[in-house]
Amino acid sequence: MLKGKVVVIDPGHGGDATGAIGPTGLKEKDVNLSVALMLAEMLKAAGASVYLTRDGDYDIPLADRVKFSLEKKADAFVSIHHNANARRDSSVDRTEIYCVFEPDSPSFDLGYLLFYSFRKYLGLPTVPPLPARYRVLKGNVPVSVLGEASYITNPAEEKKLATEEYRRKEALAYYEALKMYFDRGVPMIKNLDVNVSKGLVTAEIVDEDGMGIDASSISLLLDGKPLEFEFAEGRWLAAELPELLPNGEHVVELKARNLNGNVTPPSRYTFKIKRRAESFAVTPYPENSRNPLMVTIRLVDSYGMPIAEGERVIMSVPSGKILAIQPHADADGCVRAVIRFEEAGGNVEIKVRDFEGVGMVKAVRRKSSPYLFGKLVDINERPIEGATVKVKNRHYTTVLGGYFLIPLPIDGPWTLEFKKRGFYPTSVEVTEDELDDEQRVVITPMFGGVLLGRKIIVDPAIGGRVKGREYLPGLTSSRANLFVAKMLYEMLFAAGADVVLTRSDEETTVEEVERVKQIIDEGGDLLVSIDHRDSDRYMEPGTHFYYRDTESMEFSKRISRLMGKLLDVEVDAREWSSYLIIHPPMTRSLVVFPELSTSRMDDFVKRAYVLLLSIVEHLGFRPVKYSGLLLNEKRDPIPDAMVISEEQIATYTDERGRFAFLHLRPEPQILKIITGGKSFEVEIDPVKGKPEEVIL
């Protein structure tokens, strides 16, 4: 069945991109090309149309290799490589096969055939196909694989790869797998369609070169849930949509296998339900209807279901002013606005497509109790929503546009405390004379706000079944990794980042592939994997990055530099090619700390602190360094005291009472000091630029 099939063969690397190099100098790029040319001959002899992304010693950009494959409308894309061990362990030798990051896909069908074929012809330990995000696989044709047939860094393997006979065996392994794949037939889904007005899903599933479709393998999902269907004449699928679907976007997914086990490329169809609004309800906040206030309008269709998320609602207030508005419906069909009415209320007019409505809102100014209206903004005048406002043990929240609308206790003056994760707490005092004025309160973000809205993935390496080296009784590298990761989590979270831990306990085993899947599902801006020196696992102190990722290299170098400053260890940033370092789609670094000689909490804090500073500096924050000397009234040093900054970053004084921060903002601020079971607050000024004596 190879006749007429289009196969694109991609000999990895080329030119200055030599790839891996064997112990005696054999270059991966040369072996890749040799195997590719042999495979091309075999496929052409069987009637296939074969194209090579390169046929000589030159490099082709990865994106161009994918573009070439798509332009040729390849039935299969095969990228040929030979591996190197990231840990410099020359004894490692095995076969690895990588496929697109969708396990139930045609790529994996071919991948498993390669798995068996490589074992047959090369006789090496073979890893089952792994999902991967290599650039030559992303966005390529449905059947795309990357083979690492063996490790050229293994001396015995290099010797074999230098022979034409052995390379021909490898080419034969690729050939046989491709032949078996196409011999089984390539099922396809054609014309997947959703007719919303008729409530019908239809598709054609064909297997022209195979034995037909296995009806029991058909999977039809609507928004991730099975949808009943009929399958007629071995190719025609039809299904009825549920009678009443919520407004918004919906996704139909269809796949099937033929009787030989090959799966169709996944097929998806996205459609929207947008029934018109039929009625609405108006809810004011605060509930006692002060002026100004926030108005929430919930719109529903004729079935009482919320209108579609994202629908734009036009709002106007003839007898007032809209101060802030969120005009697009949320998942509950709600839009919101903060409104100041000119009198004791008025109409709110709305329009959604061809639906119009008018709601009446009462807004009175009661004199029986004071009422405070204001706006919370950051230093760049951006409104801060969702902040907590505390007034005499009562708690309120800033709403749309950063506004706060607060009924106050009768007796003044009033002290308002504003808190929000990622910002320094701020207090203001308001007197009775100021109640008629709109209050404007400014709150300052931590670290210049570089962590706000960022997602950071923190990965404590190993864990579960793999404990790693035991440094001290009960303190393994796995546990040390987790301690540092949890401290970093707390630091980042307090400073406003969204933080994800890949594991949160000692007992759960999360294999590397599962970690990467979790990381990719989560998404994020940065990934830090934390480990400690362990000679049994070839882990040496330093930072590690994927050689094709310049930003990850710069991030790793920054961490190495700060490890030198804060931990007094000289480490390098080096290239690494572990699964976890290659595949996540964000800036990333594997950080290996020196082994631990004590279990002092300060040791873990310092390591987390190194990573925190590296992250905020990488994201653009330029901190001020501050050092201090903690003394008692007799001017004796106070050792082992915990010193906590306003960002909730903690450090400890040494035996001479010295402590330092590298991250403080350049203005007077408060440090919290805990020593001898007592807590103290002291004001310091980081801009002095020299060690400051702090006397308790």
pLDDT of residue 367: 57
* 77 lies in the same domain as 35: yes
pLDDT of residue 689: 66
Task: Show the CA angle centred on residue 247, arms to residues 242 and 253, nearest 5°.
Answer: 55
| Mean pLDDT of the chain, nearest integer | 93
Mean pLDDT of the region 416-420: 96
How many other β-carbons are positioned within 10 Å of the β-carbon of residue 241? 19
* 565 lies in the same domain as 638: no
Per-residue DSSP letters for 19-87?
A: --B-TT--BHHHHHHHHHHHHHHHHHHTT-EEEES-SSS----HHHHHHHHHHTT-SEEEEEEEE--TT
Identify which of 566, 573, 606 has the alpha carbon closest to the alpha carbon of residue 589.
573
Query: Tens digits of per-residue pLDDT, 419-437?
Result: 999 999 999 999 988 887 8
Amino acid found at 101: F
* 510 lies in the same domain as 603: yes
Given a cut of 70, is residue 288 above it in pLDDT? no
| Residue 18 backbone zone (phi > 0: left; psi -120 to 50: alpha; other: beta) | alpha
pLDDT of residue 666: 79
Query: Tens digits of per-residue pLDDT, 155-208?
Result: 999 999 999 999 999 999 999 999 999 999 999 999 999 999 999 999 999 998
* 225 lies in the same domain as 146: no
Query: Tens digits of per-residue pLDDT, 513-526?
Result: 999 999 999 999 99
Given a cut of 90, is residue 216 above it in pLDDT? yes
Identify which of 639, 608, 626, 631 has the alpha carbon closest to the alpha carbon of residue 668.
626
Q: Which residue among 362, 394, 413 closes a domain?
A: 362
C-alpha torsion sign, points 250, 238, 231, 190:
negative
Given a cut of 80, is residue 44 above it in pLDDT? yes
* 439 lies in the same domain as 476: no
Within a domain: residue 1? no
Share of the chain above pLDDT 90, in %: 80
Mean pLDDT of the region 664-674: 87
Q: Which residue among 390, 410, 444 closes a domain?
A: 444
Tokens of 233: 């004449």
Phi, psi of 121 (to 5 degrees): -90, -30
Given a cut of 80, is residue 558 above it in pLDDT? yes
pLDDT of residue 640: 92
Given a cut of 90, is residue 530 above it in pLDDT? yes
* 340 lies in the same domain as 469: no
Q: Is the pTM of this model over 0.75?
A: yes
pLDDT of residue 662: 78
Phi, psi of 481 (to 5 degrees): -60, -45
Within a domain: residue 449? no
Q: Which domain holds residue 551?
A: 455-618
pLDDT of residue 49: 98
Query: Tens digits of per-residue pLDDT, 618-649?
Result: 999 887 888 899 999 999 999 999 999 887 78
CATH number (domain holding residue 380): 2.60.40.1120
